[in-house]
Amino acid sequence: MCGIVAVIGSREAAPLLLEGLRQLEYRGYDSAGVATVDAFEDGPGGLLTCQRAKGKLANLCELVDREGSLGQLGIGHTRWATHGKPEIHNAHPHRDECGSVAVVQNGIIENHRFLREQLELKGIPFASETDTEVIPHLIGEELKVLQSNGDLPSGSMLLDAVRKVALKLKGAYALAVIWAETPDALVVTRWQAPLLIGLGEGEFLCASDTPALAGFTRTILPMEDGEIALLTPLGIELYNKDGVRQQRNPSLLTGSNHVVNKRHFRHFMLKEIHEQPETAQLWVSRHLPLGLPVEAPVALPFEDSFYEGIERIEILACGTSRHAAMVGAYLLEQFSGIPTAVFYASEFRYAAPPLAANTLTIGVTQSGETADTLAALAMEAERRRAHGDPAFASRQLGVTNRPESSLGRQVDHILDIGSGIEIGVAATKTFLGQLLAFYALALKFASLRKSRSILEITTLTNELRDIPNQLRRLIQKHDQLSENLATRFSDTQDVIFLGRGINYPIALEGALKLKEISYIHAEGYPAGEMKHGPIALLERRVPVIAIAMPGRVFEKVLSNAQEAKARDAKLIGVAPEGPEAEVFDVLMPLPEVSEWTSPLLSVIPMQLLSYHIAFQRGLDIDQPRNLAKSVTVE
């Protein structure tokens, strides 16, 4: 949530800041702002200018175009509102009383009320309702104290002031700070929010995420929690939380995961839906290569010892990632025979179950930055460390699309879903990537534990190898079908999604997709649960989308669908063609695949239908209201 970017170097900062923010807009788009310092030619210090605009980044770009913005030092921010409405006065950067210190922040300062009261008692006026504004005021106060000793303003002085203020902050934050008195100094620090330094040619950049840096440099230095850095045109001074100078080699960004491009598609979401066959193909070539023994056909980047002794799996995730985890749990339990439980990460943090022995904890987060998931994992690792008994030791696996994220640095093992960067706020190809990761794990556990016969393992493996082709055909067919269907449903107010067994999470995912981008109220239910209450909602104006894939609950879902139809609901089936499908008013046909692999296909009509309904309604599909791609606040 919120993207920050900062630059110091030998070029004008504003264009770099705006380009960086463009790449970070997926993190929030309630308002945007930049502040730059233009060094005086004839003396120390410079002129700090701050420009902010409500709404999308385009509004800020217009403002900067119109008014200009000078200086080779600058900071920028794109906001997802937490404290205070999305208005200009709440937009970042925020400044101190005399307007010479400017700060951008991503995160939440939990003790901001206390700090604000203290500052207000000293007579310091506040211009916003944000939690962030306390920071420039506190830094301004520290700078006054440091200057009162007679020292001249310097980068070290700013560093010192920010360090002192950081000690007073509680919560999670990443900060970039500039001061009009020091046009050659940028100070950045982080605590439980991402921040990376990019080492360019003659310039240093800093940003919340790699796409903002990738256009300028591929050499990056991810900052660790508690680190603080002073960046000048000459170099970086990096210190850990104890003030000890750090010498770390930067790393290189590899791959195309950092390049953002819509190609010929109208929206990133549509492009990402269409990229799914590629995602699956890549996954097959990485994890199901031909030539492995039939009884162990999966290639995963872990030693066999990693799997040893695991008797239980607990999965922590939020949103779409949680739906993928639910399909994963079904596979791990029903195919591989391991008791598995899925938790909302946000609930787990405050109501974790009693510790179980020999447990693998899996955190699923495409961004690797979801605050609740990271905190739940950290809390779980701590509980297990404190327990002391080796049987209860922490074993954590992260399933993510961003191995370089905070998750990557936090857990013992990472399974990179390798879906390529996803920009649309509604997750699509990363959901598929997460599902596939669980198929790999389920196959691996089943082969190690011999919970399935070689025939069953081979059958599933072969079906998975065919998924990229199935997806290719399906997406092509359903794009048009969904577009046609969407015209009939774009005025609908409520939609019910039904699924059972392995497809129940797909019903939940279908409802979430529709809500997120079309703002239509939608609910997903296990089909058998309808008659216990939700059926009261049904009437002519409430379409019911039922996922009915052949398998052990096929007939059951069809009966549940009949019950809905008997209440006048318009019935849309996501099912294979055939006589059974006659119950549906509209059929979104799927190929006949096994129940095990059906979620990989049944999710496609859900994604496409939501997309086309939102498009018909003229909505902002890639940047739906109130949402952000990475939810880095609790």
Chain residues that interact with ligand M6R, rule: CB under 6 A: 318-321, 365-367, 370, 373, 425-427, 516, 627, 630-631
Active-site entry in 271, 444, 515, 629:
629
Q: Of the two residues 524 and 573, which places its CB atom closer to ligand M6R in the complex? A: 524
- How many Å apart are CA 323 and CA 508, to the nearest integer? 7
User: In whole angstroms, how close is the CB of 29 to ligand M6R at the nearest point?
Assistant: 14
Taking CB atoms, the residue at the shortest distance from ligand M6R is 319
Does residue 40 contact residue 47 with C-beta atoms inside 8 Å?
yes
Active-site entry in 2, 61, 206, 318:
2
Query: Strand locations in 423-493, DSSP E?
Result: none
The SS3 of residue 209 is coil
The SS3 of residue 179 is strand
Q: What is the chain's alpha carbon radius of gyration, rounded to the nearest angstrom?
A: 26
User: In whole angstroms, how close is the CB of 307 to ligand M6R at the nearest point?
Assistant: 24
C-beta contacts of 281-289 below 8 A and 24+ residues apart = 281/468, 282/418, 283/417, 283/418, 283/433, 283/436, 283/440, 284/464, 284/465, 284/467, 284/468, 286/418, 287/436, 287/440, 288/440, 288/461, 288/464, 288/465
User: In whole angstroms, how close is the CB of 322 to ligand M6R at the nearest point?
Assistant: 7
User: In whole angstroms, how close is the CB of 506 to ligand M6R at the nearest point?
Assistant: 14
Q: Of the two residues 39 and 627, which places its CB atom closer to ligand M6R in the complex? A: 627
Does residue 509 contact residue 524 with C-beta atoms inside 8 Å?
yes
Q: Of the two residues 260 and 535, which places its CB atom closer to ligand M6R in the complex? A: 260
Longest dimension (CA), the chain: 88
Q: Of the two residues 187 and 426, which places its CB atom closer to ligand M6R in the complex? A: 426
User: In whole angstroms, how close is the CB of 426 to ligand M6R at the nearest point?
Assistant: 4
User: In whole angstroms, how close is the CB of 156 to ligand M6R at the nearest point?
Assistant: 37
Sequence-ordered list of residues with C-beta below 8 angstroms from that of 97, at least 6 positions apart, any chain: 124, 125, 137, 140
- Edge-to-edge strand list for the sheet holding 203-207: 46-54, 31-39, 73-79, 3-9, 203-207, 196-199, 219-222, 251-252
- How many Å apart are CA 363 and CA 342, to the nearest integer? 10
The SS3 of residue 515 is helix
- Chain centre distance of CA 202: 32
User: In whole angstroms, how close is the CB of 338 to ligand M6R at the nearest point?
Assistant: 23
**Is 61 known to be catalytic?**
no
8-state DSSP, 245:
B
Omega before 93 cis (within 30°)?
Answer: yes
Q: Of the two residues 231 and 600, which places its CB atom closer to ligand M6R in the complex? A: 600
User: Token pair for residue 102?
Assistant: 């400017």
Q: Of the two residues 365 and 419, which places its CB atom closer to ligand M6R in the complex? A: 365
Q: Of the two residues 73 and 269, which places its CB atom closer to ligand M6R in the complex? A: 269
User: Token pair for residue 451?
Assistant: 């919970």
**Is 2 known to be catalytic?**
yes
Which residues are known to be catalytic? 2, 629
